[in-house]
Amino acid sequence: MQFTANTLEHHWMPFTANRAFKKDPRLIVKSEGVYLQDHKGGSILDGSSGLFCTAAGHGRKEIADAVYNQLNVNDYTPPFSMGHPGSFELASKIAAMTPEEINHVFFCNSGSEAIDTALKISMAYHRANGEGQRTRFVSRERAYHGVNIGGVSISGMVKNREAFSGVMPNVVCMRHTWLEENRFTRGQPEHGAELAQDLQRFVDTYGGTTISACIVEPVAGSTGILVPPKGYLERLREICTLNGILLIFDEVICGFGRLGKPFASQAFGVTPDIMTMAKALTNGAQPMGAVAVSDFIHDTIMKAAPEGSVELFHGYTYSGHPAACAAGIATLDIYQRENLFERAAELSDYFLDAVFALQDLELITDIRGYGLIAGFDLKPGTTPGARGTALQNKLFWSGLHIKFTGDTGIIAPPLISKRAHIDELCKILRATLEDLNA
Ligand SMILES: Cc1ncc(COP(=O)(O)O)c(C=O)c1O
């Protein structure tokens, strides 16, 4: 076998224009605090916390040490009918952060797995509750819930589903919440609570007793930060409660302080029945996802199974992996010790001021934001998405990483960021946008 060093050919990269990338690669060789370092030695400010993962900043030694120590003591424990202390400790820590009635945590390895797990728990709950006819899921246009078949089935983003036939049937999408009249709204928009009535219309059309769950990202993330209109989540909650439909919040991006509170649920004062989480759960240092479930769902599924039998036929080889649990425990300790959620809340006004100051730029057609996350739309060029890609590349070589979806940029600095980092971020963004426009 011939060994070819330094080839990029063999790795088929995810969500990447592979051919373009391999002609002009952008490799990160080091990361520390709020900065990344590329393979040419350049320093890059991380304006999206990686992919919304590294809330506590990169290179946290406490997390690395915890993982190293764990692997040296116990590297792997089968998670079926066996356990290790770390998963119970982490689950208790998570349960202490979630709303009062949500106290049971199921572990998996990613946000996508968390979504599939949440859908399956919803199905299992209704079956255990004698309502197995609830087979329909309600999602929303422009939703991103990961890439597994469950998540793609409830996806509202066309590119993520058009190549894949044979996804789950019985999914209906509510309208998304972007409205022209809400353009450049900071925080929760005034208009759009009535869009939650789409759920009521599905109840009226299909029958409330056929619907299993309604799932939303409280702030729609990957599509470009759509903050829920005032009253919108409350109305979804009401309709779900009245009709026995479970409300699932996908907190994969919103969770762990991004909105200035532990979860979006607390930020908006609306409690779902199930919450999915991942990403910042381990500060991105280990792959991990989790689903937190209300007591009534957990207890119903437990009680429906004969004593001594397996209650939920679901789980992964790496559910609650010891190294991931160690990373999660160390991460949550950092969040608490450094008051990072409170720091995010304190920095929010400064951050949003700085980002919304970009609205005078001709190329920007809308800005939205809440807490420490914001999205901006670019005036599209002739090929949709091309301008976003060009800007992302240019930003990278100008020293700023920002996640893009098509022509929409998403800014989500690490929660440890200082005002000077926000200034630096917006300065690079403005200069690069002006250059692109010239
Ligand atoms: C809201 C939401 N749900 C689910 C996922 C999927 O997470 P993962 O990429 O870890 O599978 C993502 C990823 O960005 C997300 O933003």
Ligand 1 and 115: CB distance under 6 A: yes
Residue matched to tokens 């990338």: 21
Instruction: Give distance in angstroms: CA of 14 to centre of ligand 1.
Output: 13
- The 3-class secondary structure across 34-87, one letter per residue, is CEEEECCCCEEEECCHHHHCCCCCECCHHHHHHHHHHHHHCCCCCCCCCCCHHH
Atom 12 in ligand 1: residue holding the nearest Cα: 146
Ligand 1 and 252: CB distance under 6 A: yes
Atom 3 in ligand 1: residue holding the nearest Cα: 145
Nearest to 118 by CA among 140, 95, 137: 137
Strand 43-46 relative to strand 35-38, pairing: antiparallel
Instruction: Give distance in angstroms: CA of 52 to centre of ligand 1.
Output: 10
Ligand 1 and 221: CB distance under 6 A: yes
Mean pLDDT across 21-45: 96
Nearest to 411 by CA among 428, 435, 397, 386: 428
pLDDT digits (tens, 9 = 90+) for 301-357: 999 999 999 999 999 999 999 999 999 999 999 999 999 999 999 999 999 999 999
Contacts of 189 (CB under 8 A, 6+ apart): 177, 179, 182, 227, 229, 230
Mean pLDDT across 367-385: 95
- What domains can be seen in the chain, in order of their start residue? 18-56+339-437 (3.90.1150.10), 64-337 (3.40.640.10)
Confidence band for 380, pLDDT divided at 50, 70 and 90 = confident
Atom 8 in ligand 1: residue holding the nearest Cα: 111
Ligand 1 and 277: CB distance under 6 A: no
- pLDDT for residue 293 is more than 70: yes
pLDDT digits (tens, 9 = 90+) for 174-188: 999 999 999 999 999
Instruction: Give distance in angstroms: CA of 207 to centre of ligand 1.
Output: 30
Write the DSSP assignment of 355-400 as a string of letters.
HHGGGGSTTEEEEEEETTEEEEEEPP-SSTTHHHHHHHHHHHHTTE
- pLDDT for residue 3 is more than 70: no
Ligand 1 and 110: CB distance under 6 A: yes
Q: Does residue 106 sit in helix, strand or coil?
A: strand
E strand intervals along 88-128: 102-108
- pLDDT for residue 436 is more than 60: yes
Instruction: Give distance in angstroms: CA of 110 to centre of ligand 1.
Output: 7
Residue matched to tokens 């619907």: 211
Ligand 1 and 111: CB distance under 6 A: yes
Mean pLDDT across 43-70: 98
Q: Which of 132-141, 157-166, 191-200, 336-345 has the lowest mean pLDDT?
A: 157-166
pLDDT digits (tens, 9 = 90+) for 125-136: 999 999 999 999
Mean pLDDT across 243-266: 98
Confidence band for 6, pLDDT divided at 50, 70 and 90 = confident
pLDDT at 1 (0 to 100):
53
Confidence band for 166, pLDDT divided at 50, 70 and 90 = confident
For residue 76, what are its two tokens? 């792997």
Confidence band for 5, pLDDT divided at 50, 70 and 90 = low
Ligand 1 and 280: CB distance under 6 A: no
Pairwise CA distance, residues 140 & 46, whole Å: 30
- Residue 282 near residue 292, CB atoms below 8 Å: no
Strand 400-401 relative to strand 43-46, pairing: parallel
pTM of the model: 0.97
Contacts of 237 (CB under 8 A, 6+ apart): 247, 270, 271, 272
Candidate of 275, 279, 281, 286 to mutate for ligand 1, largest count of ligand atoms within 8 Å of Cβ: 279
Nearest to 377 by CA among 407, 346, 415: 407
What mean pLDDT value characterizes the chain? 96
- pLDDT for residue 4 is more than 90: no
Contacts of 429 (CB under 8 A, 6+ apart): 47, 358, 395, 400, 402, 409, 411
